[in-house]
A and B are shown apart, each in its own frame.
Chain A
Amino acid sequence: MKTVLAWILGGIFGFAVFYVAYAHVASIASAPRYLEQPSIKTFGDDIGLSLRTEGSLLYTISGGELHVSAETHGPSHLEWLGPVRALEEGAYTMRFKAAKQAEYDVVLGLESADGKHFIRYGLRNEKLDPGYTWDGDALSPMPGVRPKALPGEDIDAKSRFPFAASDLNDWHEITLQLSPSLHRMTAFVDGVPTGSVLTEWLMGMPVRMVFGVHARKTDQDVDVSFARVGWEPGTPEARTLRFDDRFDGKVIDPRRWAVHSFESDVLSVSLKTTKEGLSTNGHGTTQLVKGSAAFMIDTPAFPLANVYVKTKISVRQLEHGSFFVGVTSALGGPHLRFFDTGVHSVTDAPAGARPYVGMVSGHWGRDAQVRFDPARHWADSDDVTIEIEIDGKTRLARAKMDGNVIGEHVTDLQPSENVRLRFGVYLDDAEAKFDLTVRDLELRAE
């Protein structure tokens, strides 16, 4: 008995010593990565960042600016690297000025702590066709299970945003919005969104900011100035979402929405914000042999509690397809559950009705099988209002069209489960066509 007691006490003592030491040492080793202080770096005598250089580029600091210049004798680069941080939501910014047209890049981005992977955005300066471009690695969660980027989201296929000759010698600001929760990085130049890419740079990955100049060829007259670079942490993962979006700004708000456009050889999509709302049209092609979403726009994930969604759409054309809005689980694959409603095109609408019928589909019945409700309500005008109400406690989900209940079920979505709100258009076949405007979307998820 004494021996057993001695073993237990010894075990507890050993555990306690090991835990306390490990917790402190691990905190010292990794806690700085998780400090999320915003920082704006202007350039005094000491830049305070690690420098990585190769070739003949030189830098000087004067007047609070960092100047990079040289006549290159071959490919060269001069890069500054920030401290290693765990990747979180946030934005990098860089204010720069390029004085001359020559073959070099001015870049801002991030790279993995081990330096093996990077993703960058910036000016690809050249004499004939300068522009802003993406470069790097979108990563994948595991080798061997690399997901294919959706059309329009592949980093290697991104088109460039032009840099006019008149832009030389002017200050420009590049912002790189990092949204690991949306699996997306969005670039802005002087406040104008210039594109986004799908990435698997995951939250928590040890990364460091990198900016600098890459000269691609010999005998290039490089002359670049930097006024500041900065890091601004974003808001933490959303717990509640509450907004009313009319989609009438210049762009779709990247904090609220991730746009998945499936524009490709098999279907055509156009999405445009207008004063009336999000105007969207498109069609299938003969290569569309099975149903496919044309586009889908979703919010960041939030824990499911009470949800109210109301959207108003104006339909000009909808054939062989549907407009849907719904709540979907953030987990995909066999764990995907959703509750969708919307309107589907029909050819046999009753007299006096428009050729769109209310549609309710989703998971209810606790068996993970998708179910569809029978048609109940036809649109009586081209302006349709769709609503969803979900009670977080009872899981009762109710779909309404123009104020009429068209479906009511106890959904398989679980309370507190991470979900997203999504809307989009689904094309049934090659003859599908749509032309509609999403005029307003009100969301209360809390």
Chain B
Amino acid sequence: MRVLRWVWARRLFVLLAVTYAYFYEGGDPNQATRILLTRSIVDLHRPDITAYHAVTIDKSEKDGRFYSDKAPTVSLLSTVPWALMNVLDRLFHIDGSSRAAMRVRLHMIVIAVSVTAGVAAAALLRRALVLFGTKERDADLLTLGYGLGTLAFPFSTVLFGHQTAAAIVLGAFWLAVSTKTYSTRRLIALGFLWALSIVTEYPTGILVACTGLYVLSANWRDTPRVLGWSFVGAIVPFAAHSLFLWWAFGNATKLPYTYMAEPIFLSHTSTGILGINAPTFVGFFGSLFSRYRGLFFLCPFLLLVFAGFRAWLLSGDRPRELFLCAAMVVAYVLFNAGYFAWDGGGSTGPRHLVPVLPYFVLPMAWFMRSVKKARIVAWAAIVPSVAIMLACTAVCIQVPEGDPFRANPLYQIVMPALAHGEVAINHQDVFSLAARGDASYNLGLLFGLSGLASLVPLLVVWALLYPRRKAAAA
């Protein structure tokens, strides 16, 4: 009973968990290369994916062997549930080679890694919002906006590294801002999370640098201690990462991207720093405002970031945290605008921005308490954002690449599919190179509901689980 009460008190996160777990998004080269590495490590005890490489173009090649080209952490984390499922298959006589079971396997890995990360990020964000003085019911609303009205929603349903990195960076952010003095244990934990986020998604080093400077700026004279203990915390993730690189490539410092096999990627990753160059207009406009991948076009809720930063600035409250959030947002947007794949390839929105999205939401805490009718405005922004994100997640996250100024996948692909009553139209499969008509599904479809009706159970869950706190109780 206590457990049920505990869960009910956190039903917003149950809502998010059920929502993220509701969708099985099928495959794409990015997820494939990660899961193939997991499979290779557990089943073949090898760091390369040569045995399975033909089903993905996202790969590196060295000395005639193929490797995952991604930071390995998500794959390494996935080895635990994969190995556990191997054991369970034997114990409970599950035919792991059947099509049904193979799909369930990938789905369970996504649940264990990305869904958990999505829920953890939402929980940490809500904590930070409350820490920054947001009322409980406003924190619920903003958390809902983040969890369902931003790219955190679709990318919590797939085995990419962005949402996992977002949760880790947010954990470090929480540890950094929730105290003014840093104990040794906290510094070790910070170092661990910083390193873990970097080896999960290398570009989050930018966010780590911002948070690191924030921690150092609390007391510059404490710099050696901060660096020392956080380095101690960083040893395990960095050592594990380096050991993997050494095992795979015979060199602990060469990142997988260095050996990129696919020329269409190699032509860009071999420029600048692994494909990161000076920001471009098309990258900036495209990732924020375009109909093609524009963050604000797909998640209008995030437009409140401007009102939030304004209200925060005017309040004079927590100036260091204000500077930190602004720096993280600006630095990461600039990074993305300079990255050759700013559009994320086959993606909903600019997926590389996923780790920084919580810092778009945090400033809204000040908007909520400084503006009359802020909740109405927030709801008005959240509802269309949630509708768009639900549509994209239900139909297909991996929408094709196109012209940044003319393509409009939301209205050219997603909405027409919904208008025809079609959901789960991604035909890329993790286990087969050939397109398959059963590559993706949602739980409603799996259990016999068709088309839009398959989303009804999810909407019922939303209606039942969203916490309705009274204003007076806030």
Query: Does B451 make an interface contact (CB < 8 A)?
Result: yes
Instruction: From the candidates A87, A113, A114, A204, name the one contacting B439 in the complex (CB within 8 A).
Output: A204
B101, A416: Cβ atoms under 8 Å?
Answer: no
What is the CB-to-nearest-CB distance from A441 to chain B, in angstroms, rounded to a whole number? 24
Query: Does B474 make an interface contact (CB < 8 A)?
Result: no
List, in ascending order, chain A residues with CB within 8 A of B432's CB: 203
A24, B400: Cβ atoms under 8 Å?
Answer: no
What is the CB-to-nearest-CB distance from A185 to chain B, in angstroms, rounded to a whole number? 14
Query: Does A59 make an interface contact (CB < 8 A)?
Result: no
A22, B108: Cβ atoms under 8 Å?
Answer: yes
Stretch in B285-293, B357-365, B416-424 touching the partner: B416-424
Query: Does A101 make an interface contact (CB < 8 A)?
Result: no
Instruction: From the candidates A181, A203, A237, A335, name the one contacting B437 in the complex (CB within 8 A).
Output: A203
A181, B417: Cβ atoms under 8 Å?
Answer: no
What is the CB-to-nearest-CB distance from B309 to chain A, in angstroms, rounded to a whole number? 36
A143, B400: Cβ atoms under 8 Å?
Answer: no
Query: Does B181 make an interface contact (CB < 8 A)?
Result: no
B57, A335: Cβ atoms under 8 Å?
Answer: yes
Query: Does B84 make an interface contact (CB < 8 A)?
Result: yes
Binary B-proximity of A1-32 (CB < 8 A = 1, otherwise 0): 00000000000100110111011101101110
Residues from 373 to 431 in B contacting A, C-beta threshold 8 Å? 396, 399-400, 409, 412-413, 416-417, 420-422, 425, 427, 429
Query: Does A292 make an interface contact (CB < 8 A)?
Result: no
Given contacts A15-B81, A15-B84, contact A416 B413 (CB under 8 A): no
B57, A301: Cβ atoms under 8 Å?
Answer: no
B434, A26: Cβ atoms under 8 Å?
Answer: no
List, in ascending order, chain B residues with CB within 8 A of A116's CB: 420-421
Distance in angstroms between the alpha carbons of A237 and B433 in the assembled complex: 12
Query: Does A201 make an interface contact (CB < 8 A)?
Result: yes
Query: Does B131 make an interface contact (CB < 8 A)?
Result: no
Query: Does B34 make an interface contact (CB < 8 A)?
Result: no
Sort chain A's interface into a size bin.
Answer: 35 or more
What is the CB-to-nearest-CB distance from A331 to chain B, in angstroms, rounded to a whole number? 7
A206, B104: Cβ atoms under 8 Å?
Answer: no
Q: Which residue of B lies closest to A367 (CB)?
A: B263
B416, A330: Cβ atoms under 8 Å?
Answer: no
What is the CB-to-nearest-CB distance from A417 to chain B, in angstroms, rounded to a whole number? 5
Stretch in B92-100, B118-126, B191-199, B274-282 touching the partner: B92-100
Stretch in B241-249, B314-322, B442-450 touching the partner: B442-450
Distance in angstroms between the alpha carbons of A22 and B85 in the assembled complex: 12
Distance in angstroms between the alpha carbons of A31 and B427 in the assembled complex: 19
List, in ascending order, chain A residues with CB within 8 A of B111's CB: 18
A143, B108: Cβ atoms under 8 Å?
Answer: no
Residues from 53 to 74 in B contacting A, C-beta threshold 8 Å? 53-54, 57, 64, 66
Sort chain B's interface into a size bin.
Answer: 35 or more
Given contacts A27-B101, A31-B100, contact A334 B264 (CB under 8 A): yes
List, in ascending order, chain B residues with CB within 8 A of A141's CB: 425, 427, 435
Query: Does B43 make an interface contact (CB < 8 A)?
Result: no
List, in ascending order, chain B residues with CB within 8 A of A418's CB: 54, 433-434
List, in ascending order, chain A residues with CB within 8 A of B409's CB: 144
A18, B108: Cβ atoms under 8 Å?
Answer: yes
Distance in angstroms between the alpha carbons of A415 and B59 in the assembled complex: 14
Distance in angstroms between the alpha carbons of A332 and B64 in the assembled complex: 23
A335, B435: Cβ atoms under 8 Å?
Answer: no
What is the CB-to-nearest-CB distance from A237 to chain B, in angstroms, rounded to a whole number? 7
Given contacts A19-B88, A19-B104, A113-B450, contact A142 B434 (CB under 8 A): no
Instruction: From the candidates B400, B433, B437, name the one contacting A206 in the complex (CB within 8 A).
Output: B437
Query: Does A368 make an interface contact (CB < 8 A)?
Result: yes
B100, A27: Cβ atoms under 8 Å?
Answer: yes
Query: Does A61 make an interface contact (CB < 8 A)?
Result: no
A15, B98: Cβ atoms under 8 Å?
Answer: no
List, in ascending order, chain A residues with CB within 8 A of B98's CB: 27, 31, 34
Given contacts A30-B99, A113-B450, A205-B437, contact A23 B94 (CB under 8 A): yes
Most buried by B among A87, A143, A203, A366: A143
Query: Does A202 make an interface contact (CB < 8 A)?
Result: yes
B104, A26: Cβ atoms under 8 Å?
Answer: yes
Query: Does B436 make an interface contact (CB < 8 A)?
Result: yes
List, in ascending order, chain B residues with CB within 8 A of A416's CB: 50, 53-54
What is the CB-to-nearest-CB distance from B27 to chain A, in angstroms, rounded to a whole number? 12
Query: Does A122 make an interface contact (CB < 8 A)?
Result: no
B437, A29: Cβ atoms under 8 Å?
Answer: no
Query: Does B438 make an interface contact (CB < 8 A)?
Result: yes
Chain B: residues with CB nearer than 8 A to chain A? 50, 53-54, 57, 64, 66, 81, 84-85, 88, 92, 94-95, 98-101, 103-104, 107-108, 111-112, 261-264, 267, 396, 399-400, 409, 412-413, 416-417, 420-422, 425, 427, 429, 432-439, 446-448, 450-451
Can you spell out 5 A-B residue pairs with CB atoms less than 8 angstroms apart?
A29-B447, A29-B448, A203-B435, A204-B437, A415-B64
The 6 closest A-B pairs by CB, nearest first: A205-B437, A204-B438, A368-B263, A144-B412, A204-B436, A202-B437
